Structure 1
């Protein structure tokens, strides 16, 4: 990896780490479309998942008390169902199709979020969407490494504080990300040198996390929800453009 690529990846790691620490999700959504510019899509997916996992481990220590573990367990139960299907897609789909597929997934999820931004589920209504949300997230995690959008959209439709939103999302990622990238390595779908690249970038991820944690203290619940929505839209737009170039 040349110095120009390293600097670019370091900036991506800082931006992604900041986003993750601020909102609880978005690391892969931000990093993967950018890393695809310098790596093949499968390496970009794996690298994003590994770096995101390290940031989650570091963040969970400080936010664990805000986590809704019962909800996490149920969503993860659904994710285990969708993950194998996603991994099958990841191992079979070609490079070009994977890039286009990833971009379309983000775009569709973002448009759904825009349409339903002001909609809130009642507790009874939310119950029936927990498992399907997990299944979709598991599938997307295994196929394109992006389990975040379904979780973010579901949690943003609930009446919860920003602290619980961030902590619950991170806890789910703590479980699903290792399941994804370890399976990718085991299936031979992910190059081993991806782990070596990740080691170079971890310090920059932590730098971004420091910035994001400082910003979190100054963000209200209303502004937090708007940031989540805008993040989904920006990433969707950028991903679509890069997939068409």
Structure 2
């Protein structure tokens, strides 16, 4: 049973708006902050169930502005690889305790921030490389797995797409179509695993307008807003959320 009290809305509304902005305009890499933050006030499985329909709604709202602008070989490779990733994650989800997923989500939050900060400071460089289908499949498998368990498929796919030297818009469009497909892959297993419940459906419905608001802001901010301040705030949120989830999981 999910408590839809003031804490749910205080945390859920800004988290979903932030996730929508990230998916709509900034490459989806940090969109999983929405689910991670929501997992602070509801069980991890419930957070997954609430966020997936909202992300699918954002996908539907943002496909048209980026239609046909993606890099199709990269998109296709990531989608093919995501299939086994989602299958493995579904089997593990059925047998693993919720605290393990809190710990995993928390570690993903911190690892993503560490990777991005290291790249920004020049400590780690993602070299441009020619397209390779096997590499795309591998990145897709990791993305499918992390997306299934925490809606955090963005970071693994981002590493691969950054190596392709895509333009900002091609990069964004590719993430939109890839995660539109991956989110549909996750929907059926979520039903059979009991992740979707009447409570999660109610939570999704109540937060849906804010997801659309985030998507609308993201699409418009894609060409207008500098990425640096947006991601700086995102990284702060991810670090705080990651530490909190790890603490809860271990204690």
TM-score, normalising length: structure 1: 0.87
SS in 1 for 2:45: helix
SS in 2 for 1:198: helix
Mapping 1:21-40, distance limit 5 Å: 21-26=24-29, 28-40=31-43
Matched residue, 2:98: 95
Matched residue, 1:179: 185
Q: Indicate if the aligned counterparts of 2:139 and 2:160 stay in contact, CA closer than 8 A.
A: yes
Q: Indicate if the aligned counterparts of 1:90 and 1:143 stay in contact, CA closer than 8 A.
A: yes
The total of aligned residue pairs comes to 241
Task: Supply the distance in 2 between the matched residues of 1:232 and 1:10 (Cα, whole angstroms).
Answer: 15
Task: Supply the distance in 1 between the matched residues of 2:37 and 2:91 (Cα, whole angstroms).
Answer: 24
Q: Indicate if the aligned counterparts of 1:145 and 1:180 stay in contact, CA closer than 8 A.
A: no
The structure 1 segments of at least 4 consecutive aligned residues displaced by more than 3 Å after TM superposition are: 112-118, 120-123, 125-128, 226-236
SS in 2 for 1:25: coil
TM-score, normalising length: structure 2: 0.85
Tell me, yes or no, if structure 1 residue 77 matches structure 2 residue 80: yes
Mapping 1:99-178, distance limit 5 Å: 99-116=102-119, 119-124=125-130, 127-178=133-184
Task: Supply the distance in 1 between the matched residues of 2:234 and 2:83 (Cα, whole angstroms).
Answer: 24
SS in 1 for 2:130: helix
Q: Indicate if the aligned counterparts of 1:79 and 1:138 stay in contact, CA closer than 8 A.
A: yes
Between Structure 1 and Structure 2, the one with more helix by share is: 1
Matched residue, 2:239: 237
Q: CA deviation at 1:135?
A: 0.8
> In angstroms, what is the RMSD of aligned CA positions?
2.4
Q: Indicate if the aligned counterparts of 2:129 and 2:163 stay in contact, CA closer than 8 A.
A: no
Which runs of 5 or more residues in structure 2 are unaligned?
none
